[in-house]
Chains A and B, each alone.
Chain A
Amino acid sequence: MNVKLSTKDLHVSFSSHRVLRGVSFDIFEHEILSIIGPANSGKSTLLSTFNRMIDRYHDAKMTGTVLLDGMNVATMEDVASLRCRVGIVYATPIPLPMTIRENILFGPSLTKRLSRVEASDLVEKTLKASVLWDEVKDRLDSSALALSGGQQQRLCMARTLAVNPEVILFDEPCSGLDPISTAQVEEAMKELKKDHTLVLVTNNTKQAARVGDRTAFLLMGELVEVDQTNIIFTKPTDKRTEDYVTGKFG
């Protein structure tokens, strides 16, 4: 399998607070890699180094490298196109206060003018991929804020998909969702794996076990171990991983 994304000796600190301490691992093409770990382990910070959203935090300091297809993301001049290649879906759904259609077309319309047909094709394609199409196809021009939480989260997925990212980062995408919406999001993720590489940060170890091909365990900014999901959950090498996945702490 090809390595899509890899980090080497990644350290990140916010002012004097060290968030990541030497994280090195690879993410393969077309896999779902789950990252689990208790709160404040640096999971979200790790994601923000992949698409350089970390640049937006002025007190963040980062050393080490993140490679996307072997290219160092830190030296990429065009951050906008990096963020199109590495999309993100946040924990809380944040639909922009505009219509469903406008939300989806927000990203693509930043760089090119879409024809009416291209636009509606894209809206349909992305909404189908995020398993939302049937619920909203008759009200694409109504406000996105009127959707339920689960629908908003799937809309945010569709919006991220609309810029056609190679890698999609999910930052606890189901933390605010009910079990049914969660199942729908997970179903969508398994479909997406065919064309994309997925990184899923989650607090929910069961979710990692359900959808992750491989799972990484992050604790206090340190990558404890990364392996096939069934190995992490059945015979992890590190005692701390075992304690965490069996629910002794976290």
Chain B
Amino acid sequence: MRLPPTITERIAKTILMLATVAAVSALLFVIIFIMVGGFRHLSWDFLTQPILDMGREGGILPAIVGTLMIVFVSVGIGAPLGIASAIYLAEYTREGKVAQSIRFGINCLAGVPSIIFGLFGYILFVVLLGFGWSIVSGGLSLAAMILPTIIRTTEEALRSVPREYRDVAASLGASSWQVVVRAVLPYALPGILTGVILGIGRSIEETAVVIFTAGSAIQMPQSIFDSARTMAVHFYILAREGVSNENAYATAAVLICTILIINISAYTLMHRLMKGRRA
């Protein structure tokens, strides 16, 4: 016996809706839980004071600065490198054995646990290249970690641009590079930006890599060659070592707000850029 389509339609719609409600409420619960716990202990001083007594007292200004610096280095290196390689792979190489194995390798790298990148960064940047525990080492290791994600999302974004746009541009006398810049990149931008934002998110939230490569100094970093503690690491240490639950929550709240602010400004920027590009 076959159920009538009207019934299956109703069942499918209900299941899909319930799944959505479950997923969204789980996310909302986490955010609200942290925000409620965090905002109670949040104050202007918390945002502007140095870390005192290992985090029991004072604020988290050095951790905020450290986070921003590490993310800046990581995305500043990872994004251009990743986007450039994706453009090369998608626009300049023929689909063949080599391209396929590179793509396979990148997909594997995207699934490697971050601790491996931490170890890699520790050996290469901290020890071999002699950068020590520093924002540079941390940023570079995080850049390596987010590269596969950025390459993959960028490549997908490029491939979603219709081939016809490339043909039209080429038929009007555009060189390969002009085709990329004028007929492909503008339309792949939203997808590429999504990849970069994912990269920013992963860099901000990462602890394992940062502890291995940037250390966890609580002083205000003076240059990118200083060791620094990110908010995520600070939170991890406060919570794990039971230093201060209140301050851990407050740090988490600031962390979430930072991510929100970065996402919102990135999407706003993109909307400005894309204005007039669509019907």
Taking beta carbons and an 8 Å cutoff, which residues of A are in contact with B? Answer: 51, 53, 56, 58, 80-81, 83-84, 87-88, 90, 92, 94, 96-99, 106-107, 110-111, 143, 145-146, 156, 159-160, 163
Number of A-B pairs, beta carbon distance below 8 Å: 65
Can you add 19 more A-B contacts, CB < 8 Å, to A84-B173, A96-B169, A106-B182? Answer: A53-B171, A56-B167, A56-B170, A80-B175, A83-B172, A84-B172, A87-B172, A90-B164, A90-B168, A94-B162, A94-B167, A97-B187, A97-B278, A98-B277, A99-B276, A110-B174, A143-B276, A146-B279, A163-B173
Binary interface encoding of chain B residues 151-184 relative to chain A, with 1 for a CB under 8 A from any of its CBs, else 0: 0000000000010110111111111001000110
Instruction: Report the separation of the CA atoms of residues A31 and B170 in the bound assembly, to the nearest whole angstrom.
Output: 25
Select A94's contact among B168, B182, B277, beta carbons within 8 Å: B168
Q: Is there an interface contact between A110 and B168, defined as CB atoms closer than 8 Å?
A: no
Q: Which residues of B contact A56 (CB under 8 A)?
A: 167, 170
Q: Is there an interface contact between B173 and A83, defined as CB atoms closer than 8 Å?
A: yes
Q: Is there an interface contact between A53 and B187, defined as CB atoms closer than 8 Å?
A: no
Give B164's nearest chain A residue, CB to CB: A94
Instruction: Report the separation of the CA atoms of residues A35 and B212 in the bound assembly, to the nearest whole angstrom.
Output: 69
Q: Which residues of B contact A81 (CB under 8 A)?
A: 173
Give A83's nearest chain B residue, CB to CB: B173
Q: Tell which of A80, A90, A96, A143 has the most Cβ of chain B within 10 Å.
A: A96
Select B172's contact among A97, A143, A159, beta carbons within 8 Å: A159
Select B279's contact among A80, A106, A143, A163, beta carbons within 8 Å: A143
Instruction: Report the separation of the CA atoms of residues A145 and B182 in the bound assembly, to the nearest whole angstrom.
Output: 17
Instruction: Report the separation of the CA atoms of residues A80 and B183 in the bound assembly, to the nearest whole angstrom.
Output: 15
B10 at the binding interface (Cβ < 8 Å): no
Interface residue tally for chain B (C-beta within 8 Å): 21
Q: Which residues of B contact A53 (CB under 8 A)?
A: 167, 170-171
The 6 A-B residue pairs with the shortest CB-CB distance, nearest first, are A145-B279, A107-B172, A80-B173, A84-B173, A143-B279, A94-B164
25 chain-A/chain-B pairs, Cβ below 8 angstroms? A53-B170, A58-B94, A80-B174, A83-B171, A83-B172, A87-B172, A88-B171, A90-B164, A94-B164, A94-B167, A96-B183, A97-B187, A97-B278, A98-B277, A106-B182, A110-B172, A110-B174, A110-B182, A111-B173, A145-B278, A146-B279, A156-B168, A159-B172, A160-B171, A163-B173
Select A98's contact among B94, B164, B178, B276, beta carbons within 8 Å: B276
Q: Which residues of A contact B171 (CB under 8 A)?
A: 51, 53, 83, 87-88, 160
Give A95's nearest chain B residue, CB to CB: B168
Report the minimal beta-carbon distance from A119 to chain B, rounded to whole angstroms: 15
Instruction: Report the separation of the CA atoms of residues A88 and B172 in the bound assembly, to the nearest whole angstrom.
Output: 8
Report the minimal beta-carbon distance from B168 to chain A, rounded to whole angstroms: 5
Q: Which residues of B contact A110 (CB under 8 A)?
A: 172-175, 178, 182
Give A55's nearest chain B residue, CB to CB: B170
Q: Which residues of A contact B172 (CB under 8 A)?
A: 83-84, 87, 106-107, 110, 159-160, 163
Binary interface encoding of chain B residues 79-107 relative to chain A, with 1 for a CB under 8 A from any of its CBs, else 0: 00000000000000010000000000000
Instruction: Report the separation of the CA atoms of residues A50 and B21 in the bound assembly, to the nearest whole angstrom.
Output: 58
Instruction: Report the separation of the CA atoms of residues A110 and B183 in the bound assembly, to the nearest whole angstrom.
Output: 11
Report the minimal beta-carbon distance from B145 to chain A, rounded to whole angstroms: 34
Q: Which residues of A contact B277 (CB under 8 A)?
A: 97-98
Q: Is there an interface contact between B168 and A83, defined as CB atoms closer than 8 Å?
A: no
Give B187's nearest chain A residue, CB to CB: A97
Instruction: Report the separation of the CA atoms of residues A88 and B278 in the bound assembly, to the nearest whole angstrom.
Output: 24
Instruction: Report the separation of the CA atoms of residues A51 and B167 in the bound assembly, to the nearest whole angstrom.
Output: 12
Give A160's nearest chain B residue, CB to CB: B172
Report the minimal beta-carbon distance from A52 to chain B, rounded to whole angstroms: 10
Instruction: Report the separation of the CA atoms of residues A143 and B274 in the bound assembly, to the nearest whole angstrom.
Output: 12
Give B161's nearest chain A residue, CB to CB: A97
Instruction: Report the separation of the CA atoms of residues A94 and B8 in the bound assembly, to the nearest whole angstrom.
Output: 40
Q: Which residues of B contact A58 (CB under 8 A)?
A: 94
Instruction: Report the separation of the CA atoms of residues A106 and B173 in the bound assembly, to the nearest whole angstrom.
Output: 10
Give A109's nearest chain B residue, CB to CB: B182
Q: Tell which of A56, A84, A88 has the most Cβ of chain B within 10 Å.
A: A56
Q: Which residues of B contact A80 (CB under 8 A)?
A: 173-175
Report the minimal beta-carbon distance from B253 to chain A, rounded to whole angstroms: 41
Report the minimal beta-carbon distance from B167 to chain A, rounded to whole angstroms: 7
Q: Using known A-B contacts A96-B165, A143-B278, A143-B279, determine if residue A107 contacts B187 with beta carbons closer than 8 Å.
A: no
Report the minimal beta-carbon distance from B7 to chain A, rounded to whole angstroms: 40
